Structure 1
């Protein structure tokens, strides 16, 4: 398997192969906990930690595990890191841990994590595997936070509410209220709002990708046939 360059790994994790917008994996926690930014950030950081740790561990043992027990070994590694994340949240962000509830242990079943362990980490050396886990985790985290921000702003008219649950009492005043006397839009806080918000983000990404492809196609060099010779013409063709 040809090793990907660092720039390719970064681009795929953050954009071209984003686990939430392209692979559409991990939708259950993504849609369930993104009613506020702090919930999305808490789950996203836990997922990032598990992705990086499991990718690194899987890469380190890739030459010592038989194919017959490969997947069970990967699941055990992922479950170990999820347990570590769960214990850390219980120790330092207990109230947020209670809010996220079952969705922290359910990181074990996140297809994005097991998929990266099997598709990339098990076939590459530790450093590329660690970078892949970091970029995939950051890509997933970014979608969580953006979706959480949209739902919180439209649904409640606030941003960064209850950030003290994650960053302590100093973050209690971080809340932003851009609108006065905002009527709550319950629809965006409920699950249907999550589906619509995610659909809009996917549509936005696809629209940006299409614009980029059209611009590259318009600026691509064209080949013009002149008699028996082929002439390469650069520049935009109108």
Structure 2
């Protein structure tokens, strides 16, 4: 069976996005996205776990029996999260301290276990790894966009402290969007996360409606006329058969 990688990419990034399509992982989403830098770090860590878990589950899918598949999947995910946690503590210590408990809590991300059960356990290793990459990329985009909007409205900066948290190579991302801005504290606090998330969900709904709603509006009247005509013919035929 051939794998449509374009469909997998579209589902992961847009149609079936972890945040905007499935409304999963909202706890880390709202907690760590006070800045775009934190969102990028959390997204990259989650993407590494998604790719690794998808690949591991696909490779071992014929070895793991159906009766123990869920505990086995959780064990694999927890092992990968531990590796990512230790690696970030070793090489990205400041970011590790900033994200804190939310790195180990990647284990509880329903999206990772859900993709392992729904996709990786039924597909080839390459397709499963690609699906994990696209799902992780979509999750990272959601984290960065939400963090960027909150950071700009809350403090007037973008990717603040990227060089300290992610390394000197990311220093070029640091931008002061609104100079001499006093800040809007609500946007940095959790209520601001809910407000921005609601606005982004509404924006995605509008985009989807404009992309798919136009053709449906023009096709429905024509389809209704066809069904009405067919119904009229059926009634006429039934009336003609009566004695």
TM-score, normalised relative to structure 2: 0.87
Residue matched to 1:107? 106
Deviation digits for residues 152-182 of structure 1, max 9, x if unmatched?
0000010111001344234446421122221
Residue matched to 2:208? 209
Please give the secondary structure, in 2, of the residue aligned with 1:195.
helix
Q: Which has the higher helix share?
A: 2
| Unpaired runs of at least 5, structure 1 | 229-238
| Unpaired runs of at least 5, structure 2 | 230-243
- Is the CA contact 2:41–2:166 (under 8 Å) kept in the aligned structure 1? no
Deviation digits for residues 86-138 of structure 1, max 9, x if unmatched?
11111111011001000000000000000100111111111111111111110
CA distance in structure 1 between the partners assigned to 2:33 and 2:113 by the alignment: 22
- Is the CA contact 2:58–2:122 (under 8 Å) kept in the aligned structure 1? yes
* 1:91 and 2:81 aligned: no
CA distance in structure 2 between the partners assigned to 1:57 and 1:45 by the alignment: 18
CA distance in structure 1 between the partners assigned to 2:51 and 2:115 by the alignment: 10
Cα RMSD (Å):
2.0
* 1:76 and 2:75 aligned: yes
Q: 1:182 to 1:42 in 2, by over 3 A?
A: same
Please give the secondary structure, in 1, of the residue aligned with 2:127.
helix
In terms of Rg, which structure is larger?
Answer: 2
TM-score, normalised relative to structure 1: 0.89
CA distance in structure 2 between the partners assigned to 1:170 and 1:213 by the alignment: 41
